Amino acid sequence: MLNASIGFAQEHSAERTSESLQAMVPHRCRVLRGGEVTDLPAADLVPGDVVLLEAGDAVPADCRLVGGP
C-alpha cells in the first residue's frame, strides 16, 4: 500500500513537471523560409528553417546559433 502511494505521488509530480515544461515552449515562431519571414506554429518547424529570435524569446526547438548583431 505504501509503495502504491509513493508511486502515485511520483507520477503526479512528473506530470506536473511535464506540464510546466510544455508551458515554457513557445507555440508560434518567426521563421525565414524561402526568403520571406513567416509566423508559424513551432510544431511546423523543419530541419533547415532559420528561426528568427529576439532578446527574451524562448527557443522553440533545438537550434544552432548562426548570427547576431
What value does the mean pLDDT take over residues 29-34? 91
Domain ranges of the chain: 2-52
User: Is 25 in a helix, a strand, or coil?
Assistant: coil
Phi (first) and psi of residue 34, to 5 degrees: 65, 30
CB atoms within 10 A of CB 31: 20
More confident residue, 25 or 66: 66
- What residues have CB less than 8 Å from 66, skipping those under 6 apart? 50
What pLDDT, on the 0 to 100 scale, is given for residue 39? 92
Is pLDDT of 24 > 80?
no
Q: Apex CA 30: angle with CA 69 and CA 58, to 5°?
A: 75
